[in-house]
Amino acid sequence: GEEVAQTPKHLVRGEGQKAKLYCAPIKGHSYVFWYQQVLKNEFKFLISFQNENVFDETGMPKERFSAKCLPNSPCSLEIQATKLEDSAVYFCASSQQPNQPQHFGDGTRLSIL
Amino acid sequence: SQQGEEDPQALSIQEGENATMNCSYKTSINNLQWYRQNSGRGLVHLILIRSNEREKHSGRLRVTLDTSKKSSSLLITASRAADTASYFCATDRGGADGLTFGKGTHLIIQP
């Protein structure tokens, strides 16, 4: 598609439950990025992929967060044993080349109760 | 970690006036980009300036980059109500290592 598609738009989980978010990058884009936005500002980079390979995961809290980009499937970001502080909007972005502008989806709002 | 700081944090001006936002960063960069975020939406790319460029124009947008001061400015001329949004600068170091964002400037254009 011509837009980055993120699902679901909203996700509500009880503390300790698992949350899984999905992202379909723009067709032909080889690079996928995940960001976390807390309180309508402060974007934090989590992880990037080149095709199905992790490129940089320095922003990921590895104990509970994991992500995948498998061929012919949407990319996913999974959070195990969610905590209240995981409440945020999670954005996915894609680009054709690493230094080109990134195209963002509209995000998934995750609320942990 | 966040390295960019936008200033001001919020800006309210009348329609038709020019709006200027500034951004500072801490480490060396490959490119600096400006993005716009409307309420409840994702980021929209506005303009990219490379570290060896000093100024760039795109329509009503003008971006400057001063690598000696590690700062950039975004000027929106002849503002419109539709320009109301949050504006973020973002830097990269090359490669696919993700963007480092500033905290954003919330711009309100009063009709």
Which pLDDT does position B106 carry in this prediction?
95
d(C-alpha B95, C-alpha B29), whole Å = 11
Residue B59 contacts A, CB cutoff 8 Å: no
Q: What is the pLDDT of residue A40?
A: 72
pLDDT of residue B96: 76
The answer to whether A107 contacts chain B (CB < 8 Å) is yes
For residue A41, give the chain B residue with the closest CA: B103
pLDDT at B4: 64
Can you spell out the DSSP letters for chain B?
A: ----EEE-SEEEEETTS-EEEEEE-SS--SEEEEEEE-TTS-EEEEEEEETT-SEEEETTEEEEEETTTTEEEEEE-S--GGG-EEEEEEEE-STTS--EE---EEEEEE-
Q: What per-residue confidence (pLDDT) applies to B2?
A: 37
User: Best mutation site among A33, A34, A44, A45 for testing chain B: the one with the most B CBs within 10 Å?
Assistant: A45
Interface contact A59-B96, CB threshold 8 A: no
Instruction: Give the pLDDT score at A11.
Output: 98
**What chain A residue is nearest to B102 in terms of C-alpha separation?**
A42
In the predicted model, is pLDDT for residue A29 greater than 90? yes
Average pLDDT, integer, range A98-111: 94
| Residue B54: predicted pLDDT | 97
- Reduce the DSSP state of residue A107 to 3 states and report it: coil
What per-residue confidence (pLDDT) applies to A99?
A: 82
**A36-93: pLDDT as tens digits:** 999 877 899 999 999 999 999 999 998 999 999 998 899 999 999 999 999 999 999 9
**Would you write out chain B's pLDDT as a tens digit for each of its 111 residues?**
335 677 888 999 999 999 999 999 998 899 999 999 999 899 999 999 999 999 999 999 999 999 999 999 999 999 999 999 999 999 998 877 899 999 899 999 999
